[in-house]
Amino acid sequence: MKRKGKAGSPPGEPAAGNGILSRRIFLEGALAAGAATAGASSAAAQPLAIEPWMKTPGVGFDAYGQPSRFESKVVRAITSPPNPATQGVGTARTPLELLDGIITPSGLHFERSHSGIPNIDPDRHRVVIHGLVKRPLVFTLEALARYPMESRIAFVECAGNSGALNAPKAAPLGMAAIHGLLGCQEWTGVKLSTLLDEAGVDPTARWVIAEGADSAAMSRSIPLAKAMSDTLLCLYQNGERVRPSNGYPVRLLVPGFEGNMNVKWLRRLKLTTGPAMARDETSKYTIVLKDEKSWQFVFPMEVKSVITRPAPGIALRGPGFYEISGLAWSGNGRIKQVDVSADGGKSWAPAALHGPILPAAPVRFRAAWQWNGGPAVLQSRATDDTGMVQPTRAQFAEERGLRGVYHYNAIASWAIDAKGEASNAYA
């Protein structure tokens, strides 16, 4: 039998201040006695109702299923201000606080578009490889689908994700508005190296310029070494063909690298000796430092984590047991450890990590917390297998300053008030 806590004693042992419990609670069934306060109630005197949906047959089958109509509020948050030059510029952000696990439902995967979503006819679409190659090649979708494929679970994170936390004062923003430019899918496609091998890379080539078929012709420069290692031309996400808002009919996955390098609606790959200096790697997506110099071509998204529950809009219902749950990821490798704090970083305890732990993929972490009803500041701090640790906001500000909005990866905080409401805070 599993080890259990004594009846009436707190569920699990304290592991850090303000109620963080040992992660052994997840392994040893130690929750048993204490968790009665988590929400179960005695069924002794309550006959189970026969609800109307048991009294008549349900509805029949759909060719393509959808979520329950009771979940109609679980949607992306759209920010797309009017633009005199075009339309569809902006973001649709993922409501991470309403999700669980590591896979993002495809319908809720975040989206960043620079000139709307093109309506591409896959029979007419072509992908060309040219520039410094021996044999320029053109691929139909049908041709691409004949090559050997590879599947991997990987995150894509916009370089601007969490950039709102550079503001001098903590704004009353929710999860999607701050951290919702993050998604994770099982991506399947053809290795770019397979196609580059076939085209025959010229020895002078060092970069691959990837161009999208949207009306912005969004373009990014990818180092040849990355293109030859693990970059995929994706035809599928979460099992089905890539969605229009995620790059239908074919997009790049550049594992771990900043979001817009994973070029959607891919039409062209040009091999060159130098980077393109495209608009989206010069006027945007550069890291402005505190001395007003900038870093360009910082590709991997650094180690990071965020608590998705509790979070703004997901109030606690009175003192008692709660699970703190969140996501941790690193563009540089695998997550090795996540620590959590309920006292704003004064004390920390390791969270439980739920495998598989994959490179450039999020990990779901979970920690047990006994909320005493008083104020708390919840934080998570991720460490990856290169040894990189998420910095505090002060450390991040000291190193880079807070002028930029890209690659913000400092520890984030949710303040819990006496009503159990969570809000964005700096701590």
Q: In angstroms, what is the minimal distance from the CB of 43 to a copy of itself?
A: 4
- Structural element, H or E, at residue 397: helix 393-400
How far is residue 22's CA from residue 27's CA, in Å, rounded to a whole number? 10
- Distance of closest approach, residue 372 Cβ to a copy of itself, in angstroms: 16
Cβ proximity to a copy of itself: between 163 and 420 the closer is 420
Nearest distance from C-beta of residue 354 to a copy of itself, angstroms: 5
Question: With b meaning 16 or more CB within 10 Å and e meaning fewer, what string describes 364-393?
Answer: bbbbbbbbeeeebbbbbbbbbeeebebbbb
- In the bound complex, what is the minimum distance in angstroms from residue 79's beta carbon to a copy of itself? 9
Q: In the complex with a copy of itself, which residue's Cβ is closer, 193 or 392?
A: 193
* CB contact at 8 A, 315 and 420: yes
Quickly tell me which residue has 């021996």 as its tokens.
134
Kindly state the smallest distance separating residue 140's Cβ from a copy of itself, in Å: 7
Find the shortest distance in angstroms from Cβ 274 to a copy of itself.
22
Q: Return contacts of 42-47, CB within 8 angstroms, 24+ apart.
A: none
Question: Is there a contact between 135 and 198 (Cβ–Cβ < 8 Å)?
Answer: yes
| Residues 413/340, Cβ–Cβ less than 8 Å | no
Gap between the Cα atoms of 135 and 117, Å rounded: 31
**Ramachandran assignment for 401, one of left (phi > 0), alpha (psi -120 to 50 degrees), beta (any other):** left
Q: Which is nearest to 289 in space by CA: 388, 405, 168, 427? A: 405
Whichever of 118 and 391 has its CB closer to a copy of itself, that residue is 118
Q: Are 383 and 375 spatial neighbours (Cβ–Cβ below 8 Å)?
A: no
Structure letter (DSSP) for residue 11: S
Q: Which is nearer to a copy of itself, 222 or 351 (CB)?
A: 351
Q: Which is nearer to a copy of itself, 111 or 302 (CB)?
A: 111
- Adjacent-strand bridge partners of 77: 93
Cβ proximity to a copy of itself: between 121 and 291 the closer is 121
Minimum gap (Å) between residue 254 Cβ and a copy of itself:
18
Q: Which is nearer to a copy of itself, 210 or 411 (CB)?
A: 210
Min dist. Cβ of residue 367 to a copy of itself (A): 9
* Bond from prior residue into 14 cis (ω within 30 degrees of 0): no
Tokens 């004062």 map to which residue? 169
Specify the residue, 36 or 389, whose C-beta has the smaller distance to a copy of itself.
36
Shortest CA distance to 132 belongs to which of 18, 13, 224, 236?
224
Query: Shortest distance, CB of residue 27 to a copy of itself, whole angstroms?
Result: 10
User: Distance between CA atoms of 342 and 346, rounded to whole angstroms?
Assistant: 8
CB closer to a copy of itself, 227 vs 427: 227
